[in-house]
């Protein structure tokens, strides 16, 4: 299929008069199109869930979550990876994004980088990609050479390949182990895939990464428990998380955090199970650090 024939490049008949609309009418038009994005993503929920279920065991066992793409698609991947680090207490080695053209491409257009399969090979070879890793490759058109080559390289290394695109049956969708393809239709401004396609990608990446983190034990109830208390602000946040998770006082949370050596998950298990430090550590070790599973295991043993 020629690039100009792609659905993402066609004109949207619902926005052909946007240049003559009032400001309120204009934003209403954009908002109506955004509603279509949510419905398109909703249709992909089974595939998103399947991708999470395939990805989290690899991540949980030490694999890395790697995003790759060009232009807007690549930038959104870098953003998702970067935000995961402080949110879930991850290192830059556990999750990161690669973008065609490198760091300069985050703030500037790097001409021709997205057309280079060789650059994709070099970028993934440089990070020593392994079969334990998960690669999320994103391209609205589903046919960007850099992104296609990256996904092909990843699968040749045995890595799990998740492919995001907005075109059904695209080369990227055909190549991915888990294709996620919300068909958002023509853009409000013709060909501007930073709009609906970008919104769809952000929604999908949020679901993927949140799901992988939850399934990997980085969340207890709906609280992010891997905060590392390194200063007054994060120490107070850690105490609040413990208190809310265990329905106890801030004083009790502080005592547990102190006993646990500033380890938030350990402090939560300590309170929830009413056991000793050694017992709480044993429960976490037996469940791979999953607080929910550790608490359940303790309950089952009672």
Q: Would you please indicate which residues are annotated as catalytic (active-site) residues?
A: 83, 114
d(CA 136, CA 162): 5
Residue 65 phi/psi, 5-degree rounding, is -105, 110
CB 227 within 8 A of CB 220: no
| 231's tokens | 């200063």
Measured in whole angstroms, the distance separating CA 111 from the mean position of its chain's CA atoms is: 27
**H or E element, residue 96:** strand 95-99
Q: Which residues pair with 120 in a beta bridge?
A: none
CB 40 within 8 A of CB 218: no
| 284's tokens | 């976490």
Residue 222 phi/psi, 5-degree rounding, is -125, 30
**H or E element, residue 86:** helix 71-88
Each residue of 192-205: b (16+ CB within 10 Å) or e?
ebbbbbbbbbbbbb
């Amino acid at each position: 299929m020629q690039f100009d024939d792609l659905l993402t490049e066609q004109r949207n008949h619902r926005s052909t008069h946007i240049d003559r609309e009032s400001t309120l009418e204009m934003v209403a038009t954009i908002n109506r199109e955004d509603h279509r994005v949510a419905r398109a993503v909703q249709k992909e929920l089974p595939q998103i869930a399947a991708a999470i279920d395939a990805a989290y065991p690899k991540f949980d066992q030490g694999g890395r979550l790697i995003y790759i793409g060009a232009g807007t698609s690549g930038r959104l991947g870098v953003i998702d990876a970067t935000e995961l680090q402080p949110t879930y207490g991850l290192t830059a080695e556990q999750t990161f994004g690669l973008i065609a053209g490198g760091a300069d491409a985050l703030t500037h257009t790097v001409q021709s980088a997205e057309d280079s399969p060789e650059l994709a090979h070099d970028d993934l070879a440089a990070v020593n990609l392994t079969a334990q890793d998960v690669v999320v490759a994103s391209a609205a058109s589903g046919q960007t050479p850099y992104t296609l080559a990256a996904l092909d390289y990843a699968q040749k290394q045995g890595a799990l390949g998740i492919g995001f695109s907005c075109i059904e049956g695209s080369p990227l969708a055909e190549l991915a182990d888990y294709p996620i393809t919300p068909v958002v239709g023509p853009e409000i401004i013709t060909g501007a895939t930073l709009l609906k396609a970008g919104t769809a990608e952000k929604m999908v990446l949020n679901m993927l990464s949140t799901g992988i983190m939850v399934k990997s034990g980085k969340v207890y109830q709906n609280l992010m428990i891997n905060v590392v208390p390194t200063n007054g602000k994060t120490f107070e946040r850690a105490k609040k998380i413990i208190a809310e998770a265990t329905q106890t006082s801030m004083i009790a949370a502080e005592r547990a955090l102190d006993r646990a050596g500033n380890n938030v998950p350990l402090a939560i298990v300590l309170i929830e199970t009413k056991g000793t430090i050694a017992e709480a550590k044993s429960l976490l070790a037996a469940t791979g650090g999953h607080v929910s599973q550790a608490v359940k295991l303790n309950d089952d043993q009672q």
